[in-house]
Structure 1
Amino acid sequence: MIAPEKEEEAGCKDETMSPDVPGQTSASIVLSPEELDRLSSERPLVSDFKRMKLEKEAQKNWDLFYKRNTTNFFKDRHWTTREFEELRACRKFESQRLVLLEAGCGVGNCIFPLLEDDLNIFVYACDFSPRAVEFVKKNPLYCPERCCAFQCDLTKDDLRENVPEGSVDVVTLIFVLSAIHPEKMKLALQNISRVLKPEGIVLFRDYGLYDHAMLRFKACSKLRENFYVRQDGTRSYFFSKEILAELFEEAGFQPVANDYVLRETVNKKEGLCVPRVFLQSKFNKTSQLQSS
């Protein structure tokens, strides 16, 4: 089952992570000759019919994921304020209320630690899965005065129906864009741009090229270059920093920071140590997209 690889904080309780290794990129990941040959020679084996079916049923598959795992799969993300100082530093004055959009909020593993830690923050939180949004609303920490959760397909539902245009200071996009079909990623970023303030910032973290989860996939799981389907029907894309930068720039953003983070997942029980590659980036909005 590949699902426990969905992010670095998922799955087994006996796994520990090494500290981030600054200054290293995916070029530091040494692949074996066999791995290089396999990646270069693999051709997608998934039929066009199955690819279209997976796209059509994407929401259902994520809803089933949350039905099976409820709120127990991902750990709370207490690391966001450490990794992204903008969550504090982007205020122009100390008493300013920060308005944040968590795009792809899941069951609230990011937003609730932020709401507990920062009393002067308002969070809009959306997710593809209606079930995930219901879990957010049922959380004892959910308060409509400080948080507004709603279901949204970032690739087609206009965020402005729930979030005022140009009202958001910061967008967090954490392990979300990789689940979207590559041809629709730009649509999601343009949608996000419409609710960001001028010079607003997107804080991004997701799977990097040659992450261990990517190397575990077989050819029968490959949908297209760097894009794979898991056994549960959910999908994941693995980004190079060059492709990510190009994607954001085409959507009207300018890179502030964009680099790989290397970590190791250690499973003491199994005696395993595997390399993880994530991409951590920050992008400023540079142009106001026309309203449509």
Structure 2
Amino acid sequence: MSVTGELDSLESSPASPHKSSGLSERTLTSEELEKLRNDRVLVSDFKQQKLEMDAQKNWDLFYKRNTTNFFKDRHWTTREFEELKNCRESQGQKLVLLEAGCGVGNCIFPLLEEDLSIFIYACDFSPRAVEFVKQNALYCTERCLAFQCDLTKDDLQTTIQVETVDVATLIFVLSAIHPDKMQKALEQIYKVLRPGGIVLFRDYGLYDHAMLRFKSGNKLGESFYVRQDGTRSFFFSREYLAGLFQQAGFETLVNEYVLRETVNKKEGLCVPRVFLQSKFLKSVPSLSPA
């Protein structure tokens, strides 16, 4: 089974008896350090360019193979991110959410079921994923608008008015974007967020077990790898992620590693997972003194 199939499918359920959060990254064993030090061969420039050109096709093929069955529904988002409730209550109005990289709707449909006072913009790189969202029985255009969008080049403001979104979620999305284009995606989200709006972020952290399982020949760059199916994954450090958001104009509210152990009793495996869970604010402009 590929890295994608065996490990990435576990990201949807953060609750675990072996969970901790903090500022420190995971400590590597001497064997793991040696493996990373020795993994210096990068995928050729030609193949890297082709992977970038075929990025949308590779994700479309991923959803063709797996349809809606790969990831579990993310019923944990309101527990992990209280802003999904508080932002609406503090405004005294319907919460407007942007789910950037919605996939087949594993995050948005639990939210639509749980909260009747929410409107969700849901976009994804993959046209096939967007079609799966629209085919879901819970999809209703009065409460949700799904559309295809490449955050690295398409203009979000074609669909969403500037400064009208209360909360944007980036859950296991930014890691799939080439590092050179991450900044553009964040700048797009910044424009449609209202002042005081928040980005809720969860993604792969540095030294996650999935990162250490990549074999030689899969490395694209520092902390950046390609899977067997052609999809790519970046593994974030706190410092790198904070720098990206700060350059896009955001303030950091929370930026912590979530360290977990995923146990497979059948195979007798216990593997360390590392995620980054963060919150970033679009500040309210201060009023100039009269």
- What range is the shorter-chain TM-score in? over 0.9
Deviation at 1:264, TM superposition (A): 1.2
The residue aligned with 1:255 is 252
- Of 263, 272, 275, the residue aligned with 1:275 is 272
Deviation at 1:274, TM superposition (A): 0.4
The residue aligned with 1:18 is 16
Deviation at 1:8, TM superposition (A): 2.7
Deviation at 1:26, TM superposition (A): 4.7
Amino acid at match of 2:62: F
TM-score, normalization by structure 2: 0.93
Deviation at 1:151, TM superposition (A): 0.2
CA distance in 2, matches of 1:16, 1:77: 9
Amino acid at match of 1:269: K
CA distance in 1, matches of 2:16, 2:171: 19
Listed as ranges, the gaps of 5+ residues in structure 1 are none
**Map of 1:211-250 to 2, 5 A cutoff?**
211-250=208-247
* Residue 192 of structure 2 is aligned to residue 195 of structure 1: yes
Paired-residue identity, %: 70
* Residue 68 of structure 2 is aligned to residue 71 of structure 1: yes
CA distance in 2, matches of 1:67, 1:52: 23
Listed as ranges, the gaps of 5+ residues in structure 2 are 286-290
Contact 2:14 / 2:76 at 8 angstroms: preserved in 1? no
**Map of 1:1-292 to 2, 5 A cutoff?**
1-4=2-5, 5-9=7-11, 18-19=16-17, 21-27=19-25, 29-93=26-90, 95-286=92-283
CA distance in 2, matches of 1:198, 1:20: 37
Tell me the C-alpha RMSD between the 2 structures: 1.8
Deviation at 1:39, TM superposition (A): 1.0
Deviation at 1:78, TM superposition (A): 0.2
Amino acid at match of 2:256: D
CA distance in 1, matches of 2:66, 2:103: 11
CA distance in 2, matches of 1:245, 1:173: 14
Deviation at 1:17, TM superposition (A): 6.0
Deviation at 1:250, TM superposition (A): 0.2
TM-score, normalization by structure 1: 0.93
Contact 1:226 / 1:239 at 8 angstroms: preserved in 2? yes
Contact 2:9 / 2:70 at 8 angstroms: preserved in 1? no
Contact 2:21 / 2:259 at 8 angstroms: preserved in 1? no
CA distance in 1, matches of 2:270, 2:116: 39
CA distance in 1, matches of 2:31, 2:265: 26
Amino acid at match of 2:281: N
- The DSSP-based 3-state class of the residue aligned with 2:199 is strand
- The DSSP-based 3-state class of the residue aligned with 1:8 is helix
Aligned pair count reads 283
Contact 1:26 / 1:210 at 8 angstroms: preserved in 2? no
Contact 2:19 / 2:261 at 8 angstroms: preserved in 1? no
